[in-house]
Structure 1
Amino acid sequence: MLQRAGCSQYSAPMTAPIRSVDALIAAKLAPEADRAALEAVASRYATLIPAAFGALIEHPDDPIGRQVIPHPDEIRHAPHELADPIGDAAHSPVPGIVRRYPDRALLKPLLVCPLYCRFCFRREHVGPEGGLLDEAALERALAWLRGTPEITEVILTGGDPLMLSPRRLRQIVGALDAMPHVTTIRIHSRVPVAAPERITAEIADALETEKAMWLVLHANHAREFGPATRDALRLLQARAIPVLGQSVLLRGVNDDPDSLEDLLRAMVRHRIKPYYLHQLDPAPGTARFHVPIGEGQALLRALRGRVTGLAWPTYVLDIEGGHGKVPIGPSYLPEGGETVSDPSGAMHRLPTHALPSS
Structure 2
Amino acid sequence: MNEDCASPSAEPPGRYSNLPLVDPCLANLPVSSNGKQVIGERTRLFRERFFPAVTDQEWNDWHWQLRNRVTDLRTLERFIRISEDERLAIEQHTGPLPVGITPYYASLLDEYNPLQPLRRTVVAVTDEHRRVPGEADDPLNEDHDSPVPGLVHRYPDRVLFLVTGFCSVYCRYCTRSRMVGNPGGEYRFNIKQWERALDYIAANPSIRDVLLSGGDPLTLVDSRLDWLLSRLRRIPHVEFLRIGTKVPTVLPQRITSGLTRMLRRYHPLWMSIHFTHPDELTPEVSQACQRLADAGIPLGSQTV
Structure 1 contact 17–49 (Cα < 8 Å) conserved = yes
Partner of 2:201: 145
Look up the equivalent residue of 1:41 and give its one-letter code. Answer: H
Q: Look up the match of 1:88.
A: 142
Q: In 2 relative to 1, CA 177–34 (structure 1 residues): closer, same or farther, beyond 3 Å?
A: closer
SS in 1 for 2:105: helix
Shift of 1:204: 1.5
Deviates further, 199-208 or 212-221: 199-208
Amino acid at match of 2:172: R
Give the letter aligned to residue 240 of structure 1. G
Corresponding residue to 1:218 among 269, 274, 284: 274
Residues 52 and 212 (structure 1), Cα distance of their counterparts in 2 relative to 1, 3 Å cut: same
| Partner residue in 2 for 1:102 | 156
* Counterpart amino acid of residue 278 in structure 2: A
Shift of the alpha carbon at 1:43? 4.5
State the AA in 1 paired with 2:271: L
User: Structure 1 33/148 Cα, relative in aligned 2: closer, same or farther at 3 Å?
Assistant: closer
Return the match for 2:69 from 4, 17, 26: 17
Q: Which residue of the partner structure matches residue 261 of structure 1?
A: none
How many residues are aligned here?
238
Quick check: 1:47–1:116 contact (8 Å CA) kept in 2?
yes
- Do residues 133 (structure 1) and 185 (structure 2) align? no
CA contact (8 A) 1:41 1:74 kept: no
1:44 and 1:160 map into 2 onto residues whose CA distance is 15
Q: CA 1:205/1:156 → structure 2, altered by over 3 Å: closer, same or farther?
A: same
Question: Any gaps of 5 or more consecutive residues in structure 1?
Answer: 1-10, 249-358
Q: Which of 250, 253, 261 is the matching residue for 1:197?
A: 253
Shift of 1:44: 5.0
Q: TM-score, normalised by structure 1?
A: 0.63
Q: Does residue 28 of structure 1 match 2:80?
A: yes
> Once the 2 structures are TM-superposed, how far is the Cα of residue 25 of structure 1 from its aligned partner?
3.1
- Distance (whole Å) between structure 1 residues aligned to residue 87 and residue 162 of structure 2: 33
Contact 2:168 2:219 in 1 (8 A): yes
Aligned mates of 1:25, 1:204 — CA distance in 2? 36
Q: Is the partner of 1:208 in helix, strand or coil?
A: helix
TM-score, normalised relative to structure 2: 0.73
8 Å CA contact 1:67, 1:117 repeated in 2: yes
Q: Greater CA radius of gyration, 1 or 2?
A: 1
1:96 and 1:107 in contact (8 A); partners too = yes
Structure with greater strand percent: 1
Amino acid at match of 2:143: A
The residue that corresponds to 1:231 in the other structure is 287
Deviations 1:82-136 (A, max 9, x none): 1000011100000111011111001111011111111110011101636553222
SS of residue matched to 2:93: helix
Counterpart Cα distance in 2 of 1:171 and 1:217: 22
Q: Secondary structure at the match of 1:185?
A: strand
Residue in structure 2 matched with residue 50 of structure 1 by the alignment: 102
Unaligned 5+ segments in structure 2 are 1-44, 52-67
- Using the TM superposition, give the Cα deviation of residue 239 of structure 1 relative to its aligned residue in structure 2, in angstroms: 1.1
- Superposed CA deviations along residues 27-61 of structure 1, whole A, max 9, x for unmatched, are 33423675444221245531111111111112332
Higher RCO (CA-CA < 8 Å; seq separation 6+): 2
Q: Which residue of 2 aligns with 1:266?
A: none
Offset at residue 203 of structure 1 (A): 1.7
